[in-house]
């Protein structure tokens, strides 16, 4: 199967839900016009990142009864969408959530598991932790979905790989901390993405936001790596862009014949040794 993925390297307006919803709808129309089958937005593109306690005012429910979410569901009738927002549940817990929408329905929801609390980050002060990671089926194959800090923990993409994901969708609102090789966040993230493509023989689609929020600079640079770890496309640094790539799932077969890591993996051994270590501690 061949399909076209669009990376919506957007610059949302901090705290303006209505403006960002319109941004999503406009980009969906533009992407559909370019033949995009799946359009992926960055982490918290519906709200902006540095919300603080304003997160409570812009939270939505992942439900068709919510008018904002209903508008996104309607847009997914034209092309599949991955969107990220502040979600509030029925018990008033708030999550950083990513959702896969297709044909007017919610296919999968991932609540960010790892919330950074180092440097300038303090997400756990506002948000609850997600408590599961699952792959899911789409019309393009089996997919895994992670948000930012999640994919800095190798266990997360590993679990998705073992759960059948052939395509990893990674969403971030990643800040640039320095330009030198030793400190550049962008260089580290690109290295991680390529490593996952190589080790898991998966497609790795990473969408990072662009632009500024106050003193924060988001570096963009969205990428797609093939299952042979070849770079298929890379977005511009620091500026909004719709980055488009065609994925051919036949490439999975070729990569896994050359490098049969999935065939030889021992998840039973991994699970057994992790259980032993947990008990020993």
The whole domain housing 50 covers 2-280
Domain count along the chain: 1
pLDDT score, position 281: 84
pLDDT score, position 179: 56
Number of Cβ atoms within 10 Å of the Cβ of 129: 14
Q: Using a CB cutoff of 8 Å and minimum separation of 24, what contacts does 177-180 make?
A: 177/119
pLDDT score, position 100: 99
pLDDT score, position 120: 82
86: domain CATH number?
A: 3.60.110.10
Q: CA 205 → CA 52, 122, 279, distances in Å?
A: 28, 26, 36
Closest by alpha carbon to 171, among 44, 258, 20?
Answer: 44
Return per-residue pLDDT of the chain as tens, 281 residues.
999 999 999 999 999 999 999 999 999 999 999 999 999 999 999 999 999 999 999 999 999 999 999 999 999 999 999 999 999 999 999 999 999 999 999 999 999 999 999 888 899 999 999 999 999 999 999 999 999 999 999 999 999 999 999 999 999 999 987 655 556 899 999 999 999 999 999 999 999 999 999 889 999 999 999 999 999 999 999 999 999 999 999 999 999 999 999 999 999 999 999 999 999 98
């Amino acid at each position: 199967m061949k399909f076209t993925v669009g990376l919506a390297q957007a610059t949302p307006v901090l705290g303006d839900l209505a403006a960002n919803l319109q941004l999503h709808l406009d980009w969906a129309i533009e992407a559909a016009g370019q033949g995009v089958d799946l359009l992926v937005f960055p982490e918290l593109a519906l709200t902006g990142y540095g919300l603080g306690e304003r997160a409570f005012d812009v939270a939505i429910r992942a439900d068709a009864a919510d008018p904002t979410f209903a508008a996104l569901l309607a847009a997914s009738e034209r092309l599949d969408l991955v969107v990220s927002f502040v979600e509030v549940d029925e018990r008033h817990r708030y999550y950083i959530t990513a959702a896969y929408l297709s044909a007017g329905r919610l296919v999968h929801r991932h609540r960010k598991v790892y919330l950074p609390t180092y440097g300038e980050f303090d997400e756990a002060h506002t948000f609850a932790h997600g408590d599961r990671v699952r792959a899911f089926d789409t019309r393009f194959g089996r997919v895994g979905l992670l948000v930012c800090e999640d994919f800095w923990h190798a266990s997360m993409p590993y679990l998705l790989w073992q759960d059948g994901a052939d395509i990893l969708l990674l969403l971030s609102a990643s800040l640039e901390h320095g330009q030198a090789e030793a400190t550049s966040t962008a260089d580290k993230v690109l290295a991680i993405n390529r490593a996952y493509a190589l080790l898991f023989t998966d497609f790795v689609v990473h969408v990072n936001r662009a632009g500024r929020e106050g003193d924060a600079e988001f570096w963009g640079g969205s990428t797609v790596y093939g299952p042979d770890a070849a770079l298929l496309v890379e977005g511009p640094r620091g500026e909004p862009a719709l980055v488009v790539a065609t994925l051919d799932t036949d490439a999975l077969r070729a990569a896994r014949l050359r490098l049969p890591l999935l065939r030889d993996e021992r998840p039973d051994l991994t699970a057994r040794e992790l259980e032993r270590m947990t008990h020993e501690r």
